[in-house]
Amino acid sequence: MRFYLTYTEEVKQALAAKSPVVALETTIISHGMPYPQNVQMARDVEQIIRDNGAVPATIGIMNGKIKIGLNDGELQEFAERGEVEKVSRRDFSYILSSGKTGATTVAATMIAADLAGISVFATGGIGGVHRGAEDSMDISADLKELAQTNVAVVCAGVKSILDIGRTLEYLETQGVPVVGYQTDEFPSFYSRESGFSVDFRTDTPEEIARMLQIKWKLNLQGGAVIANPVPLAYAMNHDKMEEVILKALHQADEQHIAGKNITPFLLNSIKQLTAGKSVETNIALIKHNAEVAAKIAVAFMKQQP
């Protein structure tokens, strides 16, 4: 297993010293955001994690190796995408065996983080149950991963391109805690509301770290969703976004987009329909998630027996 993992010096040293480390995904860079905002975002997010006392480990697969931490040139490669595949659990072993390069989704990043011994991961939004899943059966592998892999994922909830109610039901069935950070309401990515509640509200990183320590000490397998709403100044109007999302879903339907292409397609439509404003909000919420994740990682390592 060790053979497939390679670390940057910064991450290797942090892990050896049991310092706090925060994992970051690459799908968000390669398939979630336009160039060059994506590479700027990736750099800024890493710096925010350092400023909050942790070490960033951006994770991806390059030429058949699992990279735990990327240098600047490597970040640039993921940002310019080219031949970068989107890698979820299903794709993971093939991308390694064929020596390819792939951007890891939430599910695949959780797998890699767990192999490397990293417990906290910051992203934008997780995948979930798609609208119409009762026919299409399109449910992101992120949810099953959260049920089985011990990594906490700090996110701004799920986009309402998904069926938020069914996503939360699925997480409940799979035993995944959905924890609100300073909120009672589960956020819907671009906006702070969704009409759904979180399972538990917490107000400090220490409380979240304590919950994770106990969960894993008791062998309660699986991760947790830490839902951190977009900062107010960047939040978009919930009802307006709903209109935009319905339009984007309609376009996807007309063009028969399905499978792993659906999420990137919808993100791009939403960007166009909001004249780029969605990207600004996306970047702001990721930065905020990085800050909160770093604080949780710091508290978690302090509490480590």
- Which helix (H) or strand (E) segment holds residue 47: the answer is helix 37-51
Per the listing, tokens 């390679």 go with 6
Could you tell me the smallest distance in angstroms from the CB atom of residue 258 to Mn ion? 8
Q: Is 106 annotated as a binding residue?
A: yes
Nearer to ligand PSU, 32 or 102 (CB): 32
Nearer to ligand PSU, 111 or 298 (CB): 111
Q: Is 114 annotated as a binding residue?
A: no
Contact 103, 137 (CB under 8 A): no
Could you tell me the smallest distance in angstroms from the CB atom of residue 293 to ligand PSU? 15
Calpha distance 228→139 (Å, rounded): 22
Under the criterion CB under 6 A, does residue 260 sit at the interface with ligand PSU?
A: yes
Under the criterion CB under 6 A, does residue 229 sit at the interface with ligand PSU?
A: no
Q: Does 25 participate in catalysis according to the annotation?
A: yes
Contact 113, 20 (CB under 8 A): no
56 has which bridge partners? 22
Could you tell me the smallest distance in angstroms from the CB atom of residue 66 to Mn ion? 22
Q: Is 141 annotated as a binding residue?
A: yes
- For residue 46, give the nearest of 4, 87, 1, 11 by alpha carbon: 11
Coil, strand or helix: which one is 91?
A: helix
Per the listing, tokens 């659906």 go with 262
Asked, as a colleague might, if the bond just before 231 is cis with ω within 30 of 0, I would say no
Calpha distance 81→139 (Å, rounded): 25
Which x/- pattern over 113-152 shows residues binding Mn ion (rule: CB under 5 A)? -------------------------x--------------
Query: Which one among 28, 54, 95, 249 touches ligand PSU, defined by CB under 6 A?
Result: 28
Q: Does 295 participate in catalysis according to the annotation?
A: no
Which x/- pattern over 79-118 shows residues binding ligand PSU (rule: CB under 6 A)? ---------x----------------xx------------
% helix, strand, coil for the chain, step of 5: 50, 15, 30
Coil, strand or helix: which one is 297?
A: helix
Under the criterion CB under 6 A, does residue 152 sit at the interface with ligand PSU?
A: no
Mark the binding-site residues for substrate, compressed into ranges. 86, 106, 140-142
Residues catalogued as catalytic: 25, 159
Q: Which residues are documented as binding site for Mn(2+)?
A: 138
Q: Which residue positions form the known binding site?
A: 86, 106, 138, 140-142
Q: What is the binding site for Mn ion (CB under 5 A)?
A: 138
